Chain A
């Protein structure tokens, strides 16, 4: 697909299992983080976000965990479904100045086995 890099890490999970996608971010000053899902031929779709004053945030079937000590972010997807197959990106930014740019990770391709 258009969004897939040549050497993306790939995670294959069985339908119904839980998925965990990890991301190491680079800037210790980053205080706002977003997970995006990108399906082939589409733009990134917002999944969930978290600010640095939190270490966990839950959405519908998704949970984001933030560990600022080791600069690590994870996305947990419960009861993974075939429709979850996509490339997942984490993005970081330093907020508060009004203007910001997102710095994206390389992405992880999630393949759900029916």
Chain B
């Protein structure tokens, strides 16, 4: 079974621009979560989607948004980029059916650099 895939793997943007990152979960997984990883803050939760609905959101500004499609693929968008948004953005998927907490499996991440 293929793992979680993320595109693109690397991205360079300038301040003020916006960016869209894509994530395809493991086949059969309906929950997709997004995390930001930086050297200073470590891994921080952004949001989680299940069946096209955002179920949970971390403590990030409204510039960070996401969505999930009917095939469970997810995108996250960051508008008005700031230098501090430079990070590794990780997507994770889990089966998460029936309220049970299941293991989250991570993709390789998208390295975003804001100049």
Choose, from A9-17, A21-29, A71-79, A99-107, the stretch at the interface: A99-107
Find out whether the CB atom of A43 lies under 8 angstroms from the CB atom of B96. no
Interface size class of B (residues with CB under 8 A): 20 to 34
Q: Mark B62-100, 1 if CB is under 8 A from A, else 0.
A: 000000000000000000000000001010100010111
Find out whether the CB atom of B101 lies under 8 angstroms from the CB atom of A2. no
Cross-interface CB contact of A44 among B40, B56, B90, cutoff 8 Å:
B90
Find out whether the CB atom of B88 lies under 8 angstroms from the CB atom of A44. no
Known contacts A95-B100, A99-B56: does B88 contact A2 (CB below 8 Å)? yes
Find out whether the CB atom of B105 lies under 8 angstroms from the CB atom of A89. no
Interface size class of A (residues with CB under 8 A): 20 to 34
How many A-B contacts are there with CB distance less than 8 Å? 76
Q: Mark A26-47, 1 if CB is under 8 A from B, else 0.
A: 0000001010100001111110
Q: What's the nearest-Cβ distance from chain A to residue B91, in Å?
A: 8
23 A–B contacts from the bound complex (CB under 8 Å)? A2-B88, A3-B88, A5-B42, A6-B40, A34-B104, A42-B109, A43-B90, A44-B90, A44-B106, A46-B103, A46-B104, A46-B105, A95-B100, A97-B99, A98-B96, A99-B56, A101-B33, A101-B48, A101-B58, A102-B43, A104-B43, A105-B42, A107-B42
Majority SS at the chain A contact face:
loop
B25 at interface by CB-CB < 8 Å: no
Q: What's the nearest-Cβ distance from chain B to residue A29, in Å?
A: 13
Chain B residues contacting A2 (CB-CB under 8 Å) are: 37, 88, 109, 111
Known contacts A43-B90, A43-B107: does B43 contact A100 (CB below 8 Å)? no
Chain A residues contacting B58 (CB-CB under 8 Å) are: 101
Find out whether the CB atom of B100 lies under 8 angstroms from the CB atom of A43. no
